[in-house]
Chains A and B, each alone.
Chain A
Amino acid sequence: MSIKEIQIPVFLKRTFNGRNVAISIPYLWLLLLFLFPFVIVLKISLAQPVIAMPPYTPLFSWGDSLWPKIQAGLDSYLFLFSDSLYIKAYLSSIKIATISTVLTLIIGYAIAYSIARAPTRWRGILLMLVILPFWTSFLIRVYAWIGILKTEGLLNLALMTLGVIEKPLIIMNTDLAVYIGIVYSYLPFMILPLYANLEKMDMNLLEAAADLGCRPFKTFWTVTIPLSLPGILAGCFLVFIPVIGEFVIPDLLGGTKTLMIGKVLWGEFFYNRDWPVASAVAIIMLLLLIVPIILYQKSQEKAIS
């Protein structure tokens, strides 16, 4: 008894020292609520769709009591590949994400570059003005565009009053509206890493190029752009990866023809109540994104250290 009393504290002290406890608290939290959920999604994606059909009973259908009888199957995945809707939705998401990332990069670069080259005392306030919309609700910012873009909306009203167009433009519920919404919503995510990079750039290098007779435009292409590559990559990852699974923008601004995989997943889950298929959609999306996500993590770790 007396030996135990001495031994336990020593053992406890070794395992539960401050360092280990500090590591394990956030570690266990993320394991349980971030990593473990993917195991569950994978498991459900392998369940038979038949058993998960009723909206409120799926858990009990493949719960412990029935689990041994059920064999894991790839039915949901086979279903995804047999129906062209899903493949089209994945391809369309990649297309929309790629085009909108390029558009955001061009617009974001112009703004980030201009802020980074502005007089020093202006930079702080300009940067703050870029960050401010980032703090305001995503949903509200997307909603704000509906009133502008719809057929009897403010944009058409303005253009028709000015006499630029005679008939209202149909922008709302098209892919164009989705592009506008994405570029608008994700612009701060692009500007911030670009600005952080451009602001630190050694101006002597640009002066050296100019001194040696390089024209400004060529200097920009051959010196500024290559030097800002880390910022460009970080910004593109921050836009491209979440846009692939974007739901709010295609749902509110896009039309019935706008196919995006995030919207399909939402529909499978909330309207069709087909959980195995929704899980399979998520797993395939994850496989598509795993490489960009790892590249993003590496670039961020490098940037911080």
Chain B
Amino acid sequence: MTRFSKFNVSAIIIGFTFLYLPIILLILFSFNESRLVTVWAGFSTKWYVELMQNQGIKDAAWVTFKVAFISSSVATFLGTIAGLVMTRFGKFRGRTLFSGMIYAPMVMPEVILGLSTLLTFITLAIDRGVLTVTLAHITFSMCYVSVIIQSRMSSYDDSINEAALDLGCTPFRTFLLITFPIILPAVVSGWLLSFTMSLDDLVIASFTSGPGSTTLPMKIYSMVRLGVTPEINAVSTILVGLVTAGVITASLIGKRQKQQLAQS
């Protein structure tokens, strides 16, 4: 079972071609001189230059990064607590409801989340803007963070905590000095996941944003509705590049940490 079988190799090759070909073509045609998608007229970076002059896109990008940064940070804080509560606090009143509220947003159709959150903001008379998008993003991101923390905690060695507590360390200090450093990689990947999910979200942002808080996906969406253009390809290429670099860096850091742990 350590060799590739013919079936396995073909499934992997066909599968990955299907997964990657569209993105590769998208990147390729962002460097196309011609405006037409099917005609290759030579290499050009003119669409990137045009992108840099597009104030609407730059504004939207700034809003998006702001929302993504704040929402992922708060979501990581709340989600980490939620994950620890689910794994280490045993039984408490309302645990089933809590667990339901953590898993449901992950599969709940986005249109429902968007509509319900927006109607709540209107009922509470909160003006739509950057704040409302951020609050909505925190809510669904924290659930993903919580699940990442929960799965990390399922393989957590309890005896380390018990040792600290036996030696007179307070529960809070035990968390700060022992548990937190151990689960830090999971916390970081939770933050990264929240960040990219906030960066990507179109539907919930469309419902909850107001004038002046148009996010990048909303801007791209309105451009896509008008047709396929090399500018969209260019902005998509930048986003794909950023995310890919981030994911690869994160996994390299994780790998190095593992190696250091193995050596020590």
* Most chain B Cβ neighbours within 10 Å, of A25, A114, A140: A140
Q: A117-B8, A118-B12, A278-B115 are in contact. Are A27 and B139 (CB under 8 A)?
A: no
Contact status B123-A143, CB under 8 Å: no
Give which listed residue, A115, A150, A265, A289, contacts B12 with CB less than 8 A.
A115
In the bound complex, how far is the Cα of B261 from the Cα of A112, in angstroms? 29
Q: How far is the CA of A135 from the CA of B120 in the complex (A)?
A: 29
A252 contacts B224, CB within 8 Å? yes
Question: Does any Cβ of B come within 8 Å of A86's Cβ?
Answer: no
- In the complex formed, the residue of A with least CB distance to B139 is A33
Which residues of A from 130 to 184 have beta carbons under 8 Å from B?
130-133, 135-141, 143-148, 150, 152-154, 157, 184
Q: Is residue B253 within 8 Å, beta carbon to beta carbon, of the partner chain?
A: no
Complex Cα distance, B25 from A266, in Å, reads 30
Complex formed: what's the CA distance from A22 to B150 in Å?
15
Verify if B262 is at the interface (C-beta below 8 Å from A).
Answer: no
Which residues on the B side are within 8 Å of A130 (C-beta)? 19
- Are A285's CB and B109's CB within 8 A? yes
Given A136-B244, A140-B239; A30-B98 close (CB under 8 Å)? yes
Q: Across the interface, which residues of B come within 8 angstroms of A304, CB to CB?
A: 87, 147, 150-151, 154
Beyond A137-B236, A140-B26, A300-B147, 7 extra complex contacts between A and B, CB < 8 Å: A18-B172, A26-B78, A107-B15, A113-B11, A147-B228, A241-B108, A266-B111
Q: Which of B173-222 contact A (CB under 8 A)?
A: 193, 196, 199-200, 202-203, 206-207, 217, 220-221
Near A by CB (< 8 A), chain B positions 27-49 give 29, 37-38
Does A297 sit at the interface, judged by CB under 8 A? yes
With A140-B220, A187-B19, A279-B119 already in contact, the answer to whether A33 and B110 are too (CB < 8 A) is no
Known: A143-B236, A147-B25. A111 touches B107 (CB 8 A): no
Rounded to whole angstroms, the CA-CA distance of A269 and B2 in the bound complex is 54
What residues of chain B lie closer than 8 Å to A137, measured between beta carbons? Answer: 199-200, 217, 236, 239-240, 243
| Interface membership of B101, Cβ < 8 A | yes
Q: Is B168 part of the contact surface with A, judged by Cβ < 8 Å?
A: no
Q: Give A contacts to B, CB under 8 Å.
A: 18-19, 22-23, 25-27, 29-31, 33-38, 40-41, 44, 58-59, 107, 110-111, 113-115, 117-120, 122, 126, 128-133, 135-141, 143-148, 150, 152-154, 157, 184, 187-188, 203, 237-238, 241-242, 244-248, 252, 262, 265-266, 269-270, 275, 278-279, 282, 285-286, 289, 292-294, 296-297, 300-301, 304-305
Which of A18, A22, A148, A278 contacts B22, CB < 8 Å? A148
Q: For A292, what are the chain B residues with a Cβ–Cβ distance below 8 Å?
A: 107
Task: Verify if B130 is at the interface (C-beta below 8 Å from A).
Answer: no
Structural contact, B111 and A262, CB atoms closer than 8 A: yes
Please name the 7 residue pairs, one residue from A and one from B, whose CB atoms are nearest each other, closest first.
A245-B109, A37-B116, A114-B8, A144-B22, A26-B82, A111-B15, A297-B103
> B258 → chain A, closest Cβ, in Å?
11
Query: What A residues does B154 contact at CB under 8 A?
Result: 304-305
Q: Are A41 and B104 in contact (CB under 8 A)?
A: no
Other-chain contact of A265, B85, B97, B115 (Cβ < 8 Å): B115
Given A35-B101, A107-B15, A110-B15, also A19-B22 (CB < 8 A): no
Q: Which residue of A lies closest to B26 (CB)?
A: A144
- Whether B224 lies near A143 (C-beta < 8 A) is yes
User: With A23-B85, A23-B92 in contact, do A294 and B100 touch (Cβ < 8 Å)?
Assistant: yes
Q: Any chain A CB within 8 A of the CB of B102?
A: yes
* Inter-chain contact B251/A34, CB cutoff 8 Å: no
B107→A41 contact, CB < 8 A: no
In the bound complex, do residue A148 and residue B220 qualify as a contact, i.e. CB atoms below 8 Å apart? no
Residues from chain B with a CB closer than 8 A to the CB of A34 are 101, 104-105, 139
* Contact A29-B247, Cβ < 8 Å, known A184-B22, A241-B109: no
Minimum CB–CB distance for B163 against chain A, Å: 20
Question: Are B101 and A31 touching (Cβ within 8 A)?
Answer: yes
Q: How long is the Cα–Cα vector from A252 to B139 in the complex, in angstroms?
A: 27
**Can you report 10 residue pairs joining A to B where beta carbons are below 8 Å apart?**
A22-B89, A31-B101, A36-B120, A59-B122, A117-B8, A118-B12, A130-B19, A139-B221, A241-B108, A293-B107
Q: CB distance A154 to B104 under 8 Å?
A: no
Whether a CB of chain A sits under 8 angstroms from the CB of B135 is: yes
Give the chain A neighbours of B1 by CB distance below 8 A: 117, 203
Residues on B with C-beta less than 8 A from A247 are 110-111, 203
Task: For B220, list chain A residues within 8 Å (CB).
Answer: 139-140, 143
